[in-house]
């Protein structure tokens, strides 16, 4: 199954037109929520979204929010539907869709286009530049996808087979354009629907070369350390990779972007690996290994390596990427990691290499009447999180400070570590919540980021989503203040809103909304939050220059951070 948590249904059978067919194909792979902003050129698609009996359509506050919400949903369920209108809608969504591309998420971006007759006659219709050129927006939007199609009634089945297969092969967004009049016409394409679009096959010869290469590396190494990547989850193969780690009997470490891919309570866990910010002893464990097994193409990016302060000889790395295998000399393509892991699981011998690592324990700080500090916020939050929670963390001081802390087993951590577009987390929390109705979503956001997309609160209220939102109000863009050479530039000051009043203003009925300024007030608010069944909004007032030690570290390593 392509998408988790849902049975294969057959809504394609009742599709009466091409728009309904396109939507039904996506519903039938297990997607049960769509995120959208309607528009006249998209009416056929919009109708299809609300008429499919298995689909709940969410009307977002704007297209960028919709794209972030789709991204959040896809993180949990494996794929999402985003629907926007021609040009003005689709272009607004593109930052979010591009983020999904960077973060390996399948988002089907459906866009309603003007009527074919208008396009053929190069008419000057709205949402165009008036120049009769109807290709430019398709080419811009396609750049945020790994596959794109202009669907027509006589290509719909063939093209949907192709689009779904490619999107799942790469685990990246797909762009689907459908004109208003074609959307309302019945499908005439007689190609058979391919219900096994996720059955991606390796090239057998290259797969056996890859197996040989990996076995050769394993045979020549004794000290082997694995690094499981977040992409394992995206490709639905975390369990297989963990089985390999267990069968080999080798330690594994986790980098910031890959946080919560595998439990930090696993007996073979050997720590948080992030350059000079690594757990004590973990850098030594990784960097002194004979072989580092990169499972799923974990990135050696700026934030994964704490500003490139790791000291790992990359020649020792064997990268088992989702679609290829690479060592310092060779890259073998057309190898699908799911199949490679299966083959390796049959063949590898235990290495039984163990290391000394003591997981840092998070002591509980005493709660006093003192003004709230970031340190107290993290400490209380980390003791508050329950194993079934989904923690959505925004870019900014939150995402730089938080990954270093151990998380309870079972907590799912979501962050846009590579793309890092502020504003993502608030709508993404909506998407994560709708994807996972049994879990409580905790959103940790800075107030500056929140300002970009906070109108999505109204959507949360409308659809009765009940996150616990922690909005840190530190009087501006603190992460930037911390990274500036100029200590206090005025561009990091932002409008001061009455954050705790937002849920009421946005119509979030029965939400608990509290502004806290001291440690004890925060502790009390958290207690009430867990017991409150509707949404909770806590504004946390912390100091304007209260950075946290991680940011101080980044500040003192700015040169490395920017790659020089």
Contact set with Mg ion (CB under 5 A): 446-448, 474, 478
State which of residues 447, 521, 539, 546 lies at the interface with ligand TPP (CB under 6 A).
Answer: 447
Q: Residue 418's closest CA among 263, 298, 272? A: 298
Question: Which lies closer to ligand TPP via its Cβ, residue 65 or residue 261?
Answer: 65
What is the total count of residues that contact ligand TPP (CB under 6 A)?
Answer: 19
State which of residues 11, 85, 395, 415 lies at the interface with ligand TPP (CB under 6 A).
Answer: 395
**Is 479 a residue that touches ligand TPP (CB under 6 A)?**
yes
Question: Which lies closer to ligand TPP via its Cβ, residue 434 or residue 478?
Answer: 478
Closest distance to ligand TPP from the beta carbon of 455 (Å): 16
How far from 353 is each of 223, 224, 252, 344, CA to CA, in Å? 6, 7, 11, 18
Question: Which lies closer to Mg ion via its Cβ, residue 202 or residue 542?
Answer: 542
**Is 99 a residue that touches ligand TPP (CB under 6 A)?**
no
**Exposure string (b/e) for 141-178, b if CB count within 10 Å is 16 or more?**
bbebbbbbbbbbbbbbbbbbbbbbbbbbbbbbbbbbbb
CA–CA distance, 457 with 38 (Å, rounded to integer): 19
How far from 59 is each of 47, 67, 210, 395, 425, CA to CA, in Å? 12, 12, 46, 25, 18
Closest distance to Mg ion from the beta carbon of 18 (Å): 46
Residue with tokens 């080419």: 139
Q: Residue 288's closest CA among 357, 374, 193? A: 357
Binding partner of residue 479 among ligand TPP, Mg ion, none, CB cut-off 5 to 8 Å per kind: ligand TPP
Closest distance to Mg ion from the beta carbon of 445 (Å): 9
Closest distance to ligand TPP from the beta carbon of 339 (Å): 37
Handedness of CA 241, 243, 249, 252 (dihedral sign): positive
**Is 454 a residue that touches ligand TPP (CB under 6 A)?**
no
Q: Under 8 Å CB-to-CB from 193, ≥6 apart: which residues?
A: 12, 25, 157, 160, 161
Q: Which stretch binds ligand TPP (CB under 6 A): 216-224, 270-278, 326-334, 473-481?
A: 473-481
CA–CA distance, 258 with 272 (Å, rounded to integer): 10
Q: Which stretch binds ligand TPP (CB under 6 A): 127-135, 209-217, 284-292, 440-448?
A: 440-448
Closest distance to ligand TPP from the beta carbon of 490 (Å): 14
CA–CA distance, 317 with 289 (Å, rounded to integer): 10
Q: Which stretch binds ligand TPP (CB under 6 A): 51-59, 107-115, 240-248, 477-485?
A: 477-485
Closest distance to Mg ion from the beta carbon of 6 (Å): 38
Question: Which residues contribute to the site for ligand TPP (CB under 6 A)?
Answer: 394-398, 420-423, 446-449, 472, 474, 477-480
């Amino acid at each position: 199954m392509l998408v988790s948590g849902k049975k294969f249904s057959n809504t394609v059978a009742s599709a009466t037109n091409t728009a309904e067919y396109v939507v039904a194909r996506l519903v039938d792979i297990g997607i049960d929520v769509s995120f959208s902003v309607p528009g006249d050129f998209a009416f056929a698609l919009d109708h299809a979204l609300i008429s499919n009996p298995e689909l709940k359509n969410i009307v977002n506050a704007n297209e960028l929010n919709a794209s972030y919400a789709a991204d959040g949903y896809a993180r949990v369920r494996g794929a999402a539907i985003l629907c926007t209108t021609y040009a003005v809608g689709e272009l607004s969504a593109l930052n979010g869709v591009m983020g999904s591309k960077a973060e390996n998420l399948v988002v089907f971006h459906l866009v309603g286009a003007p009527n074919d007759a208008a396009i053929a006659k190069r008419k000057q219709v709205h949402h165009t530049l008036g120049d009769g050129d109807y290709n430019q927006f398709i080419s811009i939007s396609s750049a945020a996808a790994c596959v794109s199609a202009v669907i027509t009634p006589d290509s719909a089945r063939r093209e949907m087979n192709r689009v779904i297969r490619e999107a799942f092969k790469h685990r990246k967004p797909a762009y689907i354009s459908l004109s208003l009049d074609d959307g309302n016409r019945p499908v005439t394409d007689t190609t058979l629907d391919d219900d096994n679009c996720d059955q991606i096959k390796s090239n057998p010869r290259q797969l056996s070369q890859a197996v040989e290469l990996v076995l050769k590396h394993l045979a020549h190494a004794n000290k082997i350390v694995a690094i499981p990547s977040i992409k394992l989850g995206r490709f639905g193969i975390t369990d297989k990779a963990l089985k390999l780690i267990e069968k080999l009997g080798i330690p594994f470490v986790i980098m910031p972007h890959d946080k919560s891919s595998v439990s930090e309570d696993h007996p073979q866990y050997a720590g948080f690996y992030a350059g000079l910010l690594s757990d004590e002893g973990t850098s030594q464990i990784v960097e002194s290994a004979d072989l580092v097994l990169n499972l799923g193409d974990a990135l050696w990016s700026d934030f994964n390596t704490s500003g490139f302060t790791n000291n790992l000889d990359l020649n020792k790395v064997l990268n088992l990427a989702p679609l290829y295998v690479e060592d310092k000399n060779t890259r073998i393509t057309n190898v699908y990691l799911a199949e490679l892991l299966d083959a390796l699981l049959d063949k590898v011998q235990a290495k039984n290499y163990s290391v000394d690592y003591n997981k840092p324990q998070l002591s509980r700080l005493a709660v006093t009447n003192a003004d709230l500090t970031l340190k107290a916020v993290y400490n209380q939050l980390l003791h508050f999180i329950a194993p079934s929670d989904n923690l959505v963390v925004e870019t900014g001081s939150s995402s730089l400070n938080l990954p270093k802390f151990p998380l309870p087993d079972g907590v799912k951590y979501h962050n846009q570590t590579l793309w890092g577009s502020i504003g993502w987390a608030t709508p993404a929390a909506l998407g994560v919540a709708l994807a996972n109705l049994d879990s409580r979503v905790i959103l940790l956001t800075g107030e500056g980021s929140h300002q970009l997309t906070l109108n999505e609160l109204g959507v949360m209220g409308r659809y009765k989503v009940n996150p616990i939102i922690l909005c840190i109000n530190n009087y501006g863009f603190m992460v930037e203040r911390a990274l500036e050479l100029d200590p206090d530039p005025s561009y990091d000051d932002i409008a001061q809103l009455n954050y705790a009043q937002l849920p009421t203003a946005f119509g979030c009925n029965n939400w608990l909304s509290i502004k806290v300024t001291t440690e004890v007030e925060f502790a009390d608010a958290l207690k009430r939050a867990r017991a409150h069944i509707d949404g909770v909004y806590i504004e946390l007032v912390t100091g304007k220059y209260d950075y946290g030690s991680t940011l101080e570290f980044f500040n003192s390593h700015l040169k490395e951070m920017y790659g020089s």
